[in-house]
Amino acid sequence: MDMVTIKINGLSYRVPAKSTVLEAAREAGIDIPTLCYLKEINEIGACRMCMVEIKGARSLMAACVYPVNEGMEVFTNTPKVQQSRKMTLELLLSIHNKKCLSCKRSGNCELQKLCSDMGIDNENRFAGDMPPAKYDASTAYLERNNSKCILCRRCVSACQNQAVAVIGTNNRGFDTQIGCAFEMKLNEVACVACGQCIISCPTGALTEKSNIQPVIDAINDPDKHVVVQVAPSVRAGLGEEFGLPIGTNVEGQMVAALRRLGFDKVFDTTFGADMTIMEEASEFIHRVKTGGKLPMITSCSPGWVKFCEHYFPDMVENLSSCKSPQQMTGALIKTWYAQKEGIDPEKIVSVSVMPCTAKKFEIARDNQSAAGVPDVDYSITTRELADMIKMTQLSFNRLPKEEFDHAMGVSTGAGMIFGATGGVMEAALRTAADILEGKELEAIEYNEIRGTKALKEATYNVAGIEVKVAVVSGLENANALLEKVRSGEKEYHFIEVMCCPGGCVNGGGMPIQPASVHAEYDLKALRAKALYEHDKVQTVRKSHHNPVLKQCYEEFLGEPGGHVAHEVLHTTYVKRSK
C-alpha cells in the first residue's frame, strides 16, 4: 500500500495515501466529530462538523472528504476549529425540535452526544423561525418527523443504495425538507419498507411505527393467549441495546425476558425457517422436474418481495410461493398449535420480534391468514423489544438463560443461519441435496456462499444435476443481478435475495449504532458470525431433521408441498407500480 507522511497536531504519522484526513486521524487515535458521514453510505462533506485546519489551506476543510497528501499538516483542535464546530451545532439546534426527553433516540442520538461533547451551553443561541414540522406516518412501518431532521442526507443515501430512491431533498435553503416527490406520502410511492433509512438516521427524525402498546394491551388481557416468535437475527443484536459487545448471542436471556414480559408461549421463528426450507426445497425440486419457472427466487425477505413487485413486476412468478418464516410460524401457531392445545385461533394474539420493519408491512398482506385470522397480529422490531425490556426494568444481563417452548421452539442450525446473507441458500442446499441424493451428506458447509460479499455465485452438483445458484444482499446488488437475469446475460436455477445489505442481521429493525461504530466495525459480519457459531454447535443442522417439524408434517401438514401445506404455508404476490 502506498503510504504518505502527514502531521496531525504536530506529530508525524505514516498513513495510507488513499485515506481521507478523517480516516488518517482516527487511525492515529484522534477522533474528529462527524454527523453526515456514514462510512461507505454517505461521504459528502455536507454538515461541516468535521472541519479541520490544514496548513496552507484558505479555510477550514471537511476532514471526511479531504484526501491526505505527503507533508500535509492538519490541526484538529485549534480554537478556530472548536468555534466552528460549536457554531455548526448551534445553527442546527436553531431549527431543531429540542424535546429530547421524550425523544425515542434520547441517549442514542448523535446530535445530542455532540452537543454534550462540544459543551453547548445555549441551545437557543440562534433562536428564530422554525421550518414547518413535516410529519409522515402513512405506512404501517415508519414515522418521519422532520422537526428532528438535521438534513444530513444519510437516509437519502441509504435509500439510493437500496436502488429505491423514493426520498430526497426537496426545495432549497430554509425550506429544504427530506420527503418524497410532489410531497407524496410514503405509502403513495414505491418504498419497500426496508428501514435502512431508520438505522442510518443520527437523530430521532426516523423511527419505526411502534406496536408496543397493542402488544402490552394483549398481554394484559386475560382472555388472550399471547404467543411470541423471535427471528434468528434478533438474538445476535439485542445484546447491543444492553451494552454487550456486537455479535453477542443472547438467545437464553432473550427467551427469559420474553417470559417475564408476560408472553404465554415463546417460540422460535427458526422453526418456521426450517419449515420454509422444507417447502422451498420441495418447490424447487418440483420446478426443476416439471419445467417450472426458473430461476426460483427466495421470498423470505418482505422488503425484497415488495421491491420485486414494484420494480420487477414481470418476475413475480419467479418468487417462491412460500410464505416467509415469520408467516409460516404465525400460520402454524393459529392452526396446528391452536388445534393441538384446543385454543380458539380468534383468542390467540400472535406477535413476532423481527430485525425488520418490512415485517410490519408483510403481516397485512393478502393471503397471510391461514386460519381466517391474520397469521401474525403484531410485528415488533429488535429495538421495540429492547424498549419493552427497559420499560419493565428487567436487568437483562443478569437474566438466566432459558429455552424456547418446545411446541415450536425446536430449531436447527440451518434455520439459525437464515439471518445472514447466504444462509437461506445454504440451509436449502443442505436439505435439497439430501433429498435428491437420497442419503445423508456429510459435507454441509457451503463456504462459497458465505460472507458479506455483494454477489456470491456457485455451481453445485446435486444428484447429477448442475445447480447454479446466486446469493445477493442489498437491493442495489439485487437490482443489478435481476437486470442481468432478465436480459438473459446470467442464468441460474436458484437465487437467494435478502433486502438489507448483509442480510437480516443488518435489518432496518436492528439496534442503531452511531456512525463512529459503523466506521470501526463491520456490524453485519460480527452479527452473522454469532449465527454461524450457533449453527456449528447445534446437534441438528439440517431442517428436515427437526423433530418437531417432522411431527408437524405427520400430524397436520402431510407432505411438503402437499395440499394442506399449500393452504397454510404458501401465498401470492401482486404487481405494483414504480
Partner 1 sequence: MQKRISTLPFNDTPEQAEKLDAVIQGLKGQDGAVMPALHHAQDIYGYLPLEVQRKIANGLDVPLEEVYSVSTFYSQFSLTPKGQYHVSVCLGTACYVKGADKLIEKLIEKLGIKPEECTQDGKFSLTACRCIGACGLAPVLTVNEDVYGRLVPEDIEGILAKYAG
- Which parts of this chain interact with partner 1 (CB under 8 A)? 160, 165-172, 175, 177, 180-183, 189, 578
- Number of neighbours of residue 366 by Cβ within 10 angstroms: 9
Cell 442464468 sits on residue: 491
Q: Min. distance of Cβ 176 from partner 1 in angstroms?
A: 9
Of 165 and 216, which CB lies nearer to partner 1 in the complex structure? 165
Q: Min. distance of Cβ 118 from partner 1 in angstroms?
A: 31
Q: Min. distance of Cβ 135 from partner 1 in angstroms?
A: 15
Q: Which three cell numbers stand for residue 514?
A: 452511531
* Cα–Cα separations (whole angstroms), residue 243 to 320, 433, 518: 39, 41, 16
What one-character-per-residue DSSP string does 428-479 give? HHHHHHHHHHTS--S----GGG-SS-SEEEEEEEETTEEEEEEEEESHHHHH
Of 148 and 310, which CB lies nearer to partner 1 in the complex structure? 310
Q: Min. distance of Cβ 477 from partner 1 in angstroms?
A: 18
- CA-wise closest residue to 358 among 478, 532, 192: 192
- CA-wise closest residue to 508 among 228, 107, 213, 191: 191
Decide if 298 contacts 496 (C-beta within 8 A). Answer: yes
Of 177 and 538, which CB lies nearer to partner 1 in the complex structure? 177
Of 2 and 175, which CB lies nearer to partner 1 in the complex structure? 175
Of 190 and 454, which CB lies nearer to partner 1 in the complex structure? 190
Of 189 and 515, which CB lies nearer to partner 1 in the complex structure? 189
Bridge-based pairing of strands 142-145 and 206-208 is antiparallel
- The torsion angles phi and psi of 352, rounded to 5 degrees, stand at -125, 145
Of 5 and 169, which CB lies nearer to partner 1 in the complex structure? 169
Q: Min. distance of Cβ 182 from partner 1 in angstroms?
A: 5
Decide if 138 contacts 231 (C-beta within 8 A). Answer: no
Measured between alpha carbons, how far is 224 from 346 in angstroms, rounded to an integer?
Answer: 9
Of 137 and 165, which CB lies nearer to partner 1 in the complex structure? 165
Bridge-based pairing of strands 378-381 and 51-54 is unpaired
- CA-wise closest residue to 570 among 281, 379, 367, 290: 367
- CA-wise closest residue to 474 among 500, 439, 453: 500
Q: Min. distance of Cβ 41 from partner 1 in angstroms?
A: 17
Q: Which three cell numbers stand for residue 205?
A: 427524525
Of 81 and 142, which CB lies nearer to partner 1 in the complex structure? 142
Decide if 550 contacts 421 (C-beta within 8 A). Answer: no
Using DSSP's 3-state secondary structure scheme, residue 279 falls into helix
Q: Min. distance of Cβ 170 from partner 1 in angstroms?
A: 5
Q: Min. distance of Cβ 160 from partner 1 in angstroms?
A: 8
Q: Min. distance of Cβ 169 from partner 1 in angstroms?
A: 6
